[in-house]
Amino acid sequence: MAERMLKFVGTSQAMPDKRPAAERRRDFDEIYSNYAREKAAEQAARCSQCGVPFCQIHCPLQNNIPDWLKLTAEGRLEEAYELSSATNNFPEICGRICPQDRLCEGNCVIEKGFDAVTIGSVEKFITDTAWSQGWVKPIRPRRERPESVGIIGAGPAGLAAAEQLRRKGYQVAVYDRYDRVGGLMIYGIPNFKLEKDIVQRREKLLRDSKVAFHLGCEIGRDVSMEELRQRHGAVLIATGVYKARDIQAPGVGLPGIAAALDYLTAANRSGLGDAVPGIESGALYAEGKNVVVVGGGDTAMDCVRTAVRQGAKSVKCLYRRDRANMPGSQREVKHAEEEGVEFVWLSAPQAFLGKDHVSHVRTVRIHLGMPDASGRQTPQEIPNSHVNIEADLVLKALGFDPENLPEALATPDLGVTSWGTLDIDWRSMMTSVDGVFAAGDIVRGASLVVWAVRDGRDAAERIHSYLTTKALNAQRIAAE
């Protein structure tokens, strides 16, 4: 091992080739190329194989990162893929969209002074190679179980749970109100971060594994929750959170002001070949416009970088804190700056100006005061510091809240927290309704895809325990 690993002293960090900003501004293709096999092995060999791998500890999935880095360095890619996919249902997706600078790579012990191992890029390379070599196979359970599980939501949590349950032999049906599988992975994340065929091949794999999908099916409207409970031995709610947070400011209802997800969904649907009224009318299209995005998370970064590619006249990101306190990936901020996005730090919208359409955002400068209960400095407005920023299209990217699910699902017995998320027993992951479980953003609030995958996997285990216990109790009662 010593001969192949510990190369970080003599080998510098090298990401896969990144296309020049001037070139990538013109299309929605992914910005990084793939590693060559030799380069992936070289970068994997930089791993120090530390005894307490902080990269693994800080990964929500507890991925066996040092182990598959070692296998990659040794050229044992099929084994590396098997190890990587043992803990992660979508390694090639996480390798593309996870904020590695905040998770695994940000906690790499060699980062200080030597730059982190490029974990995400190697993870992507391993699984893309596995797909191209035909190593990724449909699931064939050792034995089929009679029990079935209904999953509401075809996003990352629902799909991860579906795969894990199918591996155990359960009959799995996934219900989603949208017309495609993938949730935010298909409609919320732009192609330059995650090309849609990457998601669609996962869908095909699950279909080939005999997972049934019922698309365009809204629970509470097309099928009742009670009917779903009668069809299935257990039900998992993994709907995610889609309700956009709004801005309380004068003029917020003016035409030309839109929610970030509406804008991103329109762009992604257009890229998939759909006819989108908001694109055709220009209402949700940035070409030739002065675009202002309000917010500082990864959704805001997706918006500004999409607007650049649509040919916006100018793109500004308005954020009330400074760069160091930005919740989005610093890597994404750097990409956006390279592509021509202007960041207006320590600035917040106070009003939206215009008669029949937004024309300016009235902003106020912000000073960061003392930390609040969460430890973050409190934004405070600086008097008489107003600046008007020209805007033809304003996108609100302030995060997401859950819908009123007891009402939407016509299931008033579903318990919710003060945050509006579903209230579950964290040991069993069951809601207040027997046999109905919940996982992902609808439980923890808007979060990362990798956390949704983790929750989906955990929920699958709890559902398995519930159904096997139920079957054993039925056998015992029958025997008596």
Could you read off the pLDDT of 64-120 as tens digits, one per residue?
999 999 999 999 999 999 999 999 999 999 999 999 999 999 999 998 889 999 999
φ, ψ of residue 425 in degrees (nearest 5): -80, 115
Q: CA-CA distances (angstroms) from residue 474 to 61, 161, 464, 469? A: 34, 25, 15, 9
Compute the average pLDDT of residues 336-360. Answer: 97
| pTM, rounded to two decimals | 0.94
Name the pLDDT band for 377 (thresholds 50, 70, 90).
Answer: confident
Percent of the chain with pLDDT over 90: 89
- Specify the residue for token string 């390798």: 95
- Specify the residue for token string 């100018």: 314
**pLDDT number for residue 2:** 45
User: Which DSSP string corresponds to 405-471?
Assistant: HHHHTT-TT--B-TTSSBP-BTTTTB-SSTTEEE-THHHH-S--HHHHHHHHHHHHHHHHHHHHHHH
| CA nearest to 202, candidates 174, 168, 235, 228 | 174
Residue 418: is it exposed, middle or buried by C-beta count within 10 angstroms (0-12/13-18/19+)? exposed
Indicate if the pLDDT at residue 382 is higher than 50. Answer: yes
Could you read off the pLDDT of 294-313 as tens digits, one per residue?
999 999 999 999 999 999 99
φ, ψ of residue 236 in degrees (nearest 5): -115, 125
Indicate if the pLDDT at residue 3 is higher than 60. Answer: no
Indicate if the pLDDT at residue 199 is higher than 70. Answer: yes
Indicate if the pLDDT at residue 155 is higher than 90. Answer: yes
- In the beta sheet, which residues pair with residue 212? 173
Could you read off the pLDDT of 208-242 as tens digits, one per residue?
999 999 999 999 999 999 999 999 999 999 999 99
**pLDDT number for residue 355:** 94
Average pLDDT value over all residues in the chain = 95
Indicate if the pLDDT at residue 375 is higher than 90. Answer: no
Rounded to whole angstroms, how far apart are CA atoms 60 and 57?
8
Q: Which domains does the chain have, with CATH numbers?
A: 7-133 (1.10.1060.10), 148-241+402-479 (3.50.50.60), 246-400 (3.50.50.60)
